Amino acid sequence: MTDRLPHPLRSDALDNRDRILDAARALFAAEGLKVPMREIARYAGVGPATLYRRFPTKQMLATEAFADEMRACRAIVDEGLAHPDPWRGFRLVIEKTCELHARSRGFTEGFMATFPNAIDFVAERAYALNSIAELAHRAKDAGHLRPDFVLDDLILMLMANRGIQTTSEAARVAASRRFAALVIQAFQASPQHSPLPPVARLAPAAPRKAG
């Protein structure tokens, strides 16, 4: 009796898988997780049957599509935890997390959602939140993070950051960086009004009144 080994995907099947993931990343980033699976299949240039054969559920597709973002999220948290100054580490996490989420609306929705079938996604989210809670505890003990900060404030920050609407990713990232700077000042125990990042123009300038 021979052992059954997994067969590698044929080149055409591998190409379809890559196109599906590329399409999912693009549409999730632009429109969030509400994008229908059929639209993803159409964008990828494959039939719905091919999509569902590779990814039976949207949860599975989102987990695979955002694997790079989840690794980046873990790296950001680990970098913050490893910083010798807990307040600087906490600031770093806020700044880089906001930018990471600003680049993909779908990732933010996936990070904050509960997908029972996406075990790895749920585990990574729990790891990130628990690690940030530990870092916040250290920053409080050092006297830099306001004592009434709670983890729900971080979730509120991500929800607000997700709401940034711009005409381009570059503008969204610029706005997110300024937002992160404002959030950090709000979280600081004794706010120091450091210069903010450049303004991201989100609305047309108001006309000047005639003098």
* Model pLDDT for residues 60-118, shown as the tens digit of each residue: 898 888 888 888 999 999 999 999 999 999 999 999 999 998 887 778 777 776 544 55
Q: In this structure, is the dihedral angle defined by the CA atoms of residues 39, 45, 49 and 50, taken in order, positive or negative?
A: negative
Average predicted confidence (pLDDT) for the chain: 83
Structural domains of the chain, with CATH: 13-57 (1.10.10.60), 67-187 (1.10.357)
* Confidence (pLDDT) at 136: 96
Rg for the chain (alpha carbons), in Å?
A: 21
Q: How confident is the model at residue 121 (pLDDT cuts 50, 70, 90)?
A: low
Distances 11 to 18, 41, 44, 47 between C-alpha atoms, Å: 11, 18, 16, 17
Confidence of residue 5 (pLDDT cuts 50, 70, 90): very low
All residues at 6 or more sequence positions from 38 whose CB lies less than 8 Å from its CB, including other chains: 48
Report the pLDDT averaged over residues 127-136: 92
